Chains A and B, each alone.
Chain A
Amino acid sequence: MKNYLERTIAPRVRADGGWLEWAAEDDETLTLTARGECAQCKCLDKCLDWVRARIRRDLGVDRAVRAVREPFIWRK
């Protein structure tokens, strides 16, 4: 999952100024960290639906996808 996110999803999101990266995962839920423009995007939920659909299509697994927003200036 981490590799898939890094190789397939992240480049597309980054090309729009966004940033999604793996944060945690269990059998039901994939949690991402939303940074860059994703951290303040009004349509992030719609984008996460797209991530879920892509994962289902490409990896054959279904996970609820959620994100924790991390605006850039707050990063530790």
Chain B
Amino acid sequence: MGHVKVIRRSMRPDEWTQVRIGWLRGLMLDRQEEITGWTIREGRQTGENSYEMDDAEPRPLRRGDLYFTPDGTVFLHAEAVLPEDLRGRTDVRLRIATAGEMLVRVNGRLQGGIDPNRETMLLPPAPDGRVVIDIEGYCRSKPDDDRNEDTMHLKGCRQVFQGGWFVTLNQEAAALYQDVFVFWNMLQGGQLDEDACAVISDRLYHALNLVDWETGGGLGEAREYVGQALYASRLPRGGGEVALVAHSHLDIAYYWRRIHAVQKNARTCLIQLELMDRYPFLRYTHTQAYLFETLETYYPELFERVREKVKSGQFEPAGGMYVESDCNLPAAESLVRQFLYGQRYFRSAFGRACTNCWLPDVFGNSAILPQILRKSGIDYFVSNKMSTWNDTNRFPHNSFIWRGLDGSQVYACVPPTHFITAATPTEILENWAAYQDKDSGVPTLCMYGYGDGGSGVTEGMLQTIERLDKTPLLPRVTVTGGEAYLASSFGSDKPLAVWDGELYLEMHRGTFTTKSDLKRQNRRLEILLRDAEFAQALRWLQGESYAADALRRAWKTLLVNQFHDILPGSHIRPVFEDAMADYARIGSEAGALLGEAGEKWYNTLSFGRRLPAFVPDERGKEEHLGQRGRYVTGRMPSLAPVLETPPRHDAGWLTATPRDDGSLLVETDALRAVLLPDGSFASLCDETGREYVRGEFNRLRLFRDIPGNYDAWDILPTYRETPLPLPVDSPLRLVQTDGETAELRCALATPKSRFLRTLRLFRGRHEIEVEHRVDWHEDHVLAKAEFDCNVRAPYALCDLGAGFIARETNRNTTWQQARYEVCHHKWCDLSETGGGVAIINDGKYGVGLWDSTISLSLLRATCRPDLISDRGEHSFGYLIVPHAGSATEAGINRLALEYNTPLRRLALPALRLPELGSLFLQAVKLSEDGERLILRLTEQDGRRGVLRFPFPVKVMNLLEDAEADADAVPYRPFEILTLGIGKKDAAKLLAP
């Protein structure tokens, strides 16, 4: 006899429980009184607090009408009178079911927020019954801004007005719902064993049998039953300890523009403040000094309420940074300024600096960060990405010590589950189950609160938390703030593992390359601001004023644009346009502060330059990246005017001989190269005959690049499986030679795009510049320049902006395999004992390094979130540097600084600093208190030494707090020094 599968078609008890939980939610709304007489004005936000209106006058808004428009802001107004029986009551709520984000004023006061995560808010008592409601709201089609499944179906930038209501809650139904939700959530979460599930299932079913669903009776009996049969049951307490910390992730720009973050932040803060009054155990952690600044500027009354809650300890400013910056791409000085301006703001606004760096969503963290944290007063680092987003390897720790490039250490907390949770029992169980440092004695961290676009904690989350203490099967739960959790959990008494080096995220590898214009402008402006501060500081020493406010403003604008969804390129089109407009403004303001004038060139670098330096000159015969000019040669000493030598005119230092196979033999007084029609090298030898080329070298390559949903974020390793043709449109030929440089040019083209390549050789030099002018119109294509070097290098060196890191070139394990695309700054290098090849770029950050290959990422063409990302014209260049010795012996870092830092037309005296050795003068500025000259020096080669001054200087931390006086300042490899010098002593450093 055959087997007959039994199929149950009738409702199971759990299905009945689920249905009745829905009914229970229906019972929660007790009294509903519709508010009529709404009016609406619609418009569009044009600035942080400015709007252009679509409607000249308000118009009526009735239930069922459409409201909200794309990128629109609505202003709703209603004047209502409470029914007699609701007047004076403290439990009357405003209810609007919406996908919009609404900031609500009641009788003129900011009262609360309504958004997709909460549809009611408490109203203040209105004894006279008069309630005037003013709402500012917008509705954005954000794809993943909230995690509330109940409102996902409402998304979209046009909405149907569901009406506004005065409501009161049936407190008993609400309490029973929350009681039941805790166990229902555990039952559905898949974290419990069968026996526990059977008990919970049975008792929930029976509890809901006690409710009379016709009359709403029996709620009290059901609650009592749940209390005895579940909360007070013999089910055991679970093991472990979980710390709950409330926060709200708020992207300053992403699927919205920076100007919209102002209202998102205000709404978020307002909601949390209101909850704090009713739930005294709530401790809320909020990051980014920039957000507090905008709150202070545009919502001063709300800011004062925040300040009061900071004083009482419920509202906790955190993170230390000006914004939650990307931590791969910004220069070291930018990261320093994030803390300098961030921490100084926290001190001035709230009386104290932060002790933690809170970056749950940042796409990996540079090895230079621990030192910057420690020297900015930060002891704890909090992230989340590596543990929950790595695509290849499970990051092995959640609570550990992170050691940086220079050996600085911070306590690191990378919790095992997502940073956006609702503090549900299942999320708590999942967190403890996934926690890898259970035996460290450090409780695991579970962040809760909705976010990406703010919103934060809901009342429902807090009501769940109120029940966790008495809920069986759960780990012990502590409700705390970020700072209290970190300070009480981490310490030298805990046996924590050490993670040494960068915190590489095995995902989002495309963010090193996407939106190449942003990367290039960011690099250019970091250097321009350095030079502008330098020029201002020297003029201050000469008795002129120092434009501190203007420089700080320019820096802050640059820092905001280093936010982790702006500079990395993971945003919608208008965010890119805003950033480029900001960059243009910073460039113009910093240029004015630099104050270039006259005909004399000045070297702002703290070492003598070796490369011929291109300067713009309308009369010049050369062109560099589309700009006419000439190459300056001569003596270019450190921090001093340049002593130009007249250009040589004999071009005999170079010969170019066509060969039968179509290649070109190019010989100079320093190099011998065989060049192919596409500008790649078949051979490259120095004067000793040392060959640097192994395979395809300086070859432009295109690959299909479709990573999936995370289009702008990711490059997948499979890109190499689909190379695309890039034929030669015009073969390489010698186009210009003079006494100093020679140029060869070729063009490559697809049906949509064209690369004009110029190879530039310099008299007596090994460096070869490769310049590209690209008209780029591909879709989902990655462009790379690849160099197969005749070098056996088990490690590649990559510049981090303040030191370098060694990365393995093998693919032995999944850890190396996952690093097929990494971030570097101005240079990378493959060397063996005796020599190697470095590639120095002028604004590229993504690179692949394996075996003997350097694969520099040039351009992407992603379609989500910005459909036309990177399309258009681009100009960029890089230097190929075949060299003897190691990268440090060959001075690659200095060459990279030269290549990226132009000479400036400055009429300034030389600044005569002591012998700096391998220290680089990263910044010269006036101290924030206006008292002294600040020198920031970074050790760049991995050496130690002593810096000696002829007078005592203040040794300071990065926040410019003096820590010691010394005239001999020792430094260790890759150390960042901040030194303060009084004006009188500093003036002695100026050359007469």
Contact = CB atoms under 8 A, between A and B. Distances in A.
Contacts of A76: 779
A15 B141 contact: no
Given A15-B572, A17-B142, A72 B70 contact: no
A47 B864 contact: no
A50 B72 CA distance: 12
Nearest to B72: A12
Contact of B864 (A11, A36, A43): A36
Interface in B670-722: 706, 708, 711
Interface stretch (B153-161, B349-357, B424-432, B915-923): B153-161
Nearest to A19: B867
B574 A36 contact: no
A73 interface: yes
A15 B867 CA distance: 12
Contacts of A43: 155-159
A23 interface: no
A15 B71 CA distance: 6
B140 to A, nearest CB: 5
A28 interface: no
B865 interface: yes
A72 to B, nearest CB: 5
Interface in A1-30: 9, 11-19
B574 A72 contact: no
Contact of B66 (A18, A46, A73): A46
Interface residues of B, number: 30
Contacts of B750: none
A47 B160 CA distance: 12
B158 A16 contact: no
Interface string B652-674: 00000000000000000000000
A18 B573 CA distance: 10
Contact of B157 (A16, A19, A75): A16
Nearest to B573: A14
Contact of B574 (A14, A37, A49): A14
Interface string A54-76: 00000000000000000011011
A54 B307 CA distance: 44
Contacts of B256: 15
Contact of A17 (B69, B140, B159): B140
Contacts of B255: 16-17, 37
B751 interface: no
A18 B158 contact: no
B44 interface: yes
Which has the most chain B C-beta neighbours within 10 Å: A12, A14, A41, A50? Answer: A14
B72 A17 contact: no
Contacts of B706: 73
Given A13-B70, A15-B70, A72-B711, A47 B572 contact: no
Contacts, number: 84
Given A12-B44, A16-B71, A16-B255, A41 B572 contact: no
B978 to A, nearest CB: 41
A16 B140 contact: yes
Which has the most chain A C-beta neighbours within 10 Å: B44, B159, B572? Answer: B572
B143 interface: yes
A41 B573 contact: no
Given A13-B71, A18-B70, A41-B141, A36 B867 contact: yes
Given A12-B71, A46-B66, A73-B706, A17 B143 contact: yes
Contacts of B574: 11, 14-15
Interface residues of A, number: 25
B754 interface: no
B947 interface: no
B71 A35 contact: no
Contacts of A41: 141, 155-157
Interface string B241-280: 0000000000000011100000000000000000000000
A42 B257 CA distance: 23
A16 B143 CA distance: 10
A44 B157 CA distance: 9
A47 B158 contact: yes
A37 B573 CA distance: 12
A5 B711 CA distance: 26
A53 to B, nearest CB: 10
Interface in B62-103: 66, 69-72
Which has the most chain B C-beta neighbours within 10 Å: A16, A19, A76? Answer: A16
Contacts of A14: 71, 572-574
A9 B864 CA distance: 19
Contacts of A37: 141, 143, 255, 865
A37 B776 CA distance: 24
A63 B573 CA distance: 28
B577 to A, nearest CB: 9
Nearest to A36: B867
A37 B864 CA distance: 9
Contact of A42 (B70, B156, B711, B779): B156
B863 interface: yes
Nearest to B139: A16
Contact of B155 (A15, A35, A42, A75): A42
Interface string B855-872: 000000001110100000
Contacts of A16: 70-71, 140-141, 157, 255, 572
Nearest to A48: B158
A35 B869 CA distance: 14
A47 B779 contact: no
A73 B141 CA distance: 19
Nearest to A20: B70
Contacts of B708: 73
A51 to B, nearest CB: 9
A36 B865 contact: yes
Given A17-B141, A17-B865, A72-B711, A50 B70 contact: yes
A18 B3 CA distance: 54
A41 B142 CA distance: 11
Contacts of B70: 9, 12-13, 15-16, 18, 47, 50
Which has the most chain A C-beta neighbours within 10 Å: B142, B256, B867? Answer: B867
Interface string B135-178: 00000111100000000010111110000000000000000000
A47 B156 contact: yes
B169 to A, nearest CB: 30
Contacts of A73: 706, 708, 863
A19 B44 CA distance: 17
B867 A50 contact: no
Which has the most chain A C-beta neighbours within 10 Å: B72, B140, B142, B156? Answer: B156
Q: Which are the 9 A-B pairs with shortest beta-carbon distances?
A: A43-B156, A15-B71, A46-B158, A12-B71, A12-B70, A72-B863, A17-B255, A13-B70, A72-B864
11 contacts: A11-B574, A12-B72, A17-B140, A17-B255, A41-B155, A41-B156, A42-B155, A42-B156, A43-B155, A49-B158, A75-B863
Interface of A: 9, 11-19, 35-37, 41-44, 46-47, 49-50, 72-73, 75-76
Given A50-B66, A73-B708, 7 more contacts: A14-B572, A16-B141, A17-B141, A41-B141, A43-B157, A46-B66, A50-B70
